[in-house]
Amino acid sequence: MKKIFGLVLLFVGLMAVQVGHARAGLSDTIERLKPAVLLIGTYKSTDSPRFQLRGTGFVVSDGQMVVTNAHVLPADLSSADAPALVVQVRQASGEWQMRPARVLGTNAARDLALLRMEGPAAPAMRLGNSSAVREGADLAFMGFPIGGVLGFSVVTHRATVSSITAAALPSPSAGRLSEQAIRGLRGGTFEIFQLDATAYPGNSGGPLFDPDTGEVVGVMNMVLIKSTRESALSQPSGISYAIPSVHVQELLDRHR
C-alpha cells in the first residue's frame, strides 16, 4: 500500500509540474508576442477623439508589414477629407506610438488586408502551418475586445478549435442569403476555424496562435464569417471564428 500511495503522489506531482510548465509556456509566449500586436485605426485632428480604434493588427515579415481584417479599413480612404490610416505600436516604455500606414493589398473574399507602416521595424510574428491545425487543438488569441472600452491593453484568451468547417453555410432558400453570403459563395467557400471562445469586434484582425511556439495559425474575424453562419444571432454566442494563416501567406507572397 505504501508503494501504491507513493506512486500516486509521484503521478500527482508530475501532473502538477506539467500544468505549471504549460501555464508558464503561455505566459512567456504572451510576453514575447505583445510588442507585435497593434492598434489599427484612423486619425484626424478635427475628430473627437482624434484617434478612432477600428480593430487589431499584428506585425509580420520584415517588421513593417501588418496584417488585419479588410473590414477594419475605412471605406473612404481615397477621399480628400478622409482621416489618415494609422497604427499604434507599443513602445518598451509601455506608451503607444502612432505611425502612418498604407494599404499594400487586400483579399476581400478572405477579409484580409496587408499594410505597411512607417518607422523602424517592430518585433514580428512568425506564420505557422494552419493546415496542420486539428480539431481539439488548444490555441490562444490576442486583441482589443470591445475597442477602447477596456482600455488599450492587449487581452489574451484561450480557445479550443471546435470545428474546421466551411466559411459559408448553405441556405434552405435563396431569399434567406445575405449579400455577403452570396458574394462569399460566388467567390468559392473555404475552411475556417470555429473556436469555443467569445470574441468581440475589437478582436477583429488579431492573431490566433500556438501557445507554445507563438506561431500564428489564423486571423480572428467577427464580421465576414458571422454574417454567413450566424446572421440570426445578435448577441455573442460563445463561438468565434478565424481565417487560416495560409491565406495570409498567399497575400504576403503577392506583395513582398
Which residues is 84 bridged to in the sheet?
A: 43
pLDDT of residue 25: 87
> Is domain 130-254 in CATH 2.40.10.10, yes or no?
yes
pLDDT of residue 159: 96
Q: How far is CA 6 from the centre of its chain?
A: 46
pLDDT of residue 192: 93
Per-residue pLDDT of the chain (256 residues; tens, 9 = 90+): 555 544 434 443 434 434 444 455 899 999 999 999 999 999 999 988 899 999 999 999 999 999 999 999 998 877 878 899 999 999 988 899 999 999 999 999 899 999 999 999 999 999 999 999 999 999 999 999 877 666 788 999 999 999 999 887 554 444 444 455 555 555 567 899 999 988 887 899 999 999 999 999 999 997 666 655 554 444 555 788 999 999 999 999 998 7
Smallest CA-to-CA distance from 246 within 220, 218, 226, 227 is with 218
CATH, domain 35-117, list 3.20.20.140, 2.40.10.10, 1.10.10.10, 1.10.443.10:
2.40.10.10
Strand duo 155-166 + 191-195: pairing: antiparallel
Give the global pTM: 0.82
| Number of DSSP helices (H) and strands (E) in the chain, helices first | 4, 12
Element at 195 (helix H, strand E): strand 191-195
pLDDT of residue 226: 60
